[in-house]
Chain A
């Protein structure tokens, strides 16, 4: 009978919904249990988000006799029986209990997303304590700290109790790790090579699986007499790594200074103005053919050696850098492993980011309220557009180590770019955004039409479009709303021509744009 689940000593017991429970249950009914698809949890499940206080609370239910605390009332009631006190256990109601899943209230946490919800209350509590709580429990023998007492107990039980030591000096706490290592370790190879010449090798006892504290090295039982034909001894030196044959593909530069140097050649290559390519790019009419401009659109995005001209935005060099950096073959000497300071170009902002913001967001030992209310992704995209318009854009990118376009029209490009979105042909904005002629496959269509399979039963607490739209809103409103929301934000910079966007009746583009 489950008494005090949270003080149980098996650390893995709580995690899975059905793991430890299965064994004591009667055989499963013949009806197949419906398997949840990943990313699409049970659509009928109720998503519950408890407050940090609730999640951290321990032992709210206290026994009046012995003052022992329990996290759940059920457990307290069962305990009270032991004192011969009257107890009450709420019977499970006969109607089907609605399946509940729990999310983490911490917005940046992976379990904040309903599709990563945890199936049981104990699990989410333990998660919250472990991840966002203070680590109060410290192991005596080693330095490990734990936020959840049962984890600490589980660890203490095994810490230092079993140690297997290989001849090479490595220590293992688990036998299977030790065995696997030992099988391939050079120490064994050397020893067997020695054993070929010395039949009377010293036998040392091998720890058997019941061994407690064993710190002697484990070797084989005494070798058979040397009369047995010996296979060739294992090669004495460990095989040297194959020189550079493995390092075939390109790799990112591992030093940040490399990156900012890149844009210069790229920008310089660019002819002052490339009209043709600009013309074919997004914001103009749908008449731009898909055929052979496809390639050139991407050429503009990813700067081929010739047509990097259409650097419409200050941001393009950044992406050019990304692609170039990624695609550039690694200089032969650059075999360094990634280090903590390596800014793979995708994380250009992070290192600088942390210096800008200090470490406030980093350490989650103590739970702290998030500094900002969560922002919808749409608003972020609008901000991205605004950034292009704002004068701060160039300096921002510089601050991140992306040398923004050093061409003279830095800021002007920004304005130019955002204005481009509101060109006179606004009636063609839908097509300008490339949405009308989506031959790019069904993926985009599904997205735009709000097909449930993509947006549907995800129970997102954060609605991407900020539209409060349930799954499968009417296709036309979905499409136009998206256009409006994206188009509306871009409207901010150029106040004129705010008039007719997309036609989304429910939401005014201006409102969304001003939402900050």
Chain B
């Protein structure tokens, strides 16, 4: 068998095979088996391609993450600061607007949430949204638009965001304040009274898009937690408070620190939120369980989850599309964090929707089902995307599916006793 034939073979490796190769590579690295690692990497190197087919692309980011992990074990003169090796890319606001609509990964959450929020704030003249998300307020224009058409007239709308956010893509080339300004402009053009606030601008919090801090525990979330009370947030009694958590909660550290309460950051956050007595809490996140700490289980789970966006992008964008490559590179960023970091630096701590839901229940919240109207809206949205996207209900949850596989879930909650 000559080299050409071998390489041709490599191109026809299926996902299961690739996954096992990745696992073997990881094991080899963990056990310092240089020879095996080199062999596996040679094979993987000849399969991986960031401009190939979805499996090749996915593999390329995994391989990169593994190499990144290995080089972190023994820092060389090159990567001495331990930061990510993937190029960080800043987008303009309009680019980001297009980005969130490439696939329904985010828009699904926006649509379900906004619909549920609209219903929850019916009749309220003042609304205050506490927005925890990574998509820089891309969710709100459609809500503002819908509010402007409310039969009883739009409410006064206030949106408050934290000043710091997890240092993950998508990244903007403007400040949060600038985003707020534009949003305000838009609200004005729709005659919706609007205020925008950024909280937690303590001296210790730095610019939102800084590089991943090495070894700083749960960075900035401590400060953020300290601000989660009515006075710091300037809550007003006559407002309907809405809490919006989109692809956010999984960045909160989920292991129990040596804190007095003995609770994890994530649980503390959830409890503080509930204590604010909101009208509705919206929780949207990725449905994948990365809580098991072993590397091999993370590789397996991650490989069998993040294939979804790669597969979806393949259906309608060409292999050399820069939009596609950039989107995939952002996922590669996530993969790198999952595979190549440990401890506090590993911030992608995805949790299954079941587990996350249990946390809310433990905190004393009840889930609310989505209305038929919401379901209909989401279906209409998905009809406009590639044919593989679907949706299903699981209990009170809505789950976005790709070819039947779970991707993103959406839930809504109220503190116990407030459900109507």
Contacts and interface: CB of A to CB of B under 8 A. Distances in A.
Contacts of A324: 78
Contacts of B268: none
Interface string B377-388: 001011111111
Nearest to B212: A249
A181 B321 CA distance: 21
B275 interface: no
A39 B51 contact: no
A273 interface: no
A85 to B, nearest CB: 33
B53 interface: yes
Contacts of B387: 11-12, 14-15, 126, 130, 148, 151, 154
Given A38-B288, A298-B32, A241 B52 contact: no
Given A10-B383, A12-B389, A377 B14 contact: no
Given A192-B188, A241-B173, A383 B6 contact: yes
Interface string B254-289: 000000000000000000000000000000000011
Interface in A79-134: 107-116, 118-120, 123, 126-127, 130
Given A192-B189, A516-B1, A294 B32 contact: yes
A370 interface: yes
Interface stretch (B96-104, B119-127, B235-243): B96-104
A12 B379 contact: yes
B76 interface: yes
Nearest to B322: A337
Given A241-B173, A316-B38, A380-B43, A110 B33 contact: no
Interface string B110-153: 11000000000000000000000000001011101100000000
A418 to B, nearest CB: 10
A322 B85 contact: no
A295 B211 CA distance: 26
13 contacts: A38-B305, A185-B94, A192-B189, A250-B83, A251-B87, A302-B74, A326-B64, A326-B71, A346-B49, A347-B49, A372-B5, A460-B16, A462-B17
Interface in A471-500: 486
Contacts of B56: 347, 350
B364 interface: no
B321 to A, nearest CB: 9
Contacts of A39: 19, 300-301, 303-305
A19 B403 contact: no
Nearest to A390: B3
B9 A447 contact: no
B26 interface: yes
B317 to A, nearest CB: 12
A330 B84 CA distance: 12
A387 interface: yes
Contacts of A454: 23, 296-297, 300
Contacts of A380: 6, 9-10, 13, 43
A448 B386 CA distance: 41
B41 to A, nearest CB: 6
A137 interface: no
Interface residues of B, number: 150
Interface stretch (B175-183, B219-227, B244-252, B411-419): B175-183
B338 interface: no
Nearest to B2: A392
A75 interface: no
A110 B54 contact: yes
A350 B52 contact: yes
A437 B177 CA distance: 55
Nearest to A443: B296
Given A39-B301, A375-B9, A464-B20, A439 B15 contact: no
A32 B60 CA distance: 38
B15 A183 contact: no
A270 interface: no
Nearest to A146: B387
A211 interface: no
Contact of A346 (B64, B78, B96, B185): B64
Interface in A232-247: 234-235, 238-242, 246-247
A505 interface: no
Contacts of A486: 36
A301 B37 contact: yes
Nearest to A297: B32
Greatest chain B CB density within 10 A among A303, A342, A381 is at: A381
B197 interface: no
Given A184-B182, A371-B8, A384-B42, 16 more contacts: A11-B383, A108-B55, A114-B16, A116-B304, A123-B403, A151-B387, A224-B191, A246-B171, A298-B74, A302-B70, A305-B76, A323-B78, A374-B13, A434-B33, A444-B27, A454-B297
A62 interface: no
B185 A188 contact: yes
Nearest to A239: B174
Nearest to A306: B77
Contacts of A464: 16-17, 20
B401 interface: yes
Given A12-B390, A192-B188, A441 B30 contact: yes
Given A17-B404, A326-B67, A377-B13, A443 B86 contact: no
Interface stretch (A51-59, A171-179, A404-412): A171-179
Contacts of B70: 298, 301-302, 323
A183 B182 contact: yes
Nearest to B11: A361
A123 B402 CA distance: 11
A31 interface: no
Contacts of B54: 110
Contacts of A110: 15, 54-55, 307, 311
Nearest to A144: B316
Interface in A208-245: 219-221, 223-224, 231, 234-235, 238-242
Contacts of B13: 107-108, 374, 377, 380
B342 to A, nearest CB: 11
A110 B85 CA distance: 27
Contacts of A299: 74, 76
A421 B35 contact: yes
Contacts of B408: none
Interface string A284-318: 00000010001101111111110000000101101
A282 interface: yes
B212 to A, nearest CB: 9
Contact of B186 (A118, A158, A183): A183
Contact of B138 (A180, A250, A302, A376): A180
Contacts of B33: 282, 433-435
B403 A115 contact: no
Nearest to B27: A444
B403 A15 contact: yes
Contacts of B8: 357, 361, 371-372
Contact of A174 (B289, B375, B384): B384
A403 interface: no
Nearest to B90: A246
Interface in B156-179: 171, 173-174, 178-179
Contacts of B311: 110
Greatest chain A CB density within 10 A among B45, B110, B325 is at: B45
Interface string A323-334: 110111110000
B291 interface: no
A319 interface: yes
A319 B39 CA distance: 11
Given A15-B388, A110-B55, A438 B31 contact: yes
B369 to A, nearest CB: 12
B35 A108 contact: no
A348 interface: yes
A304 B74 contact: yes
Interface string A26-47: 0000000101011100000000
Given A251-B87, A301-B70, A180 B404 contact: no
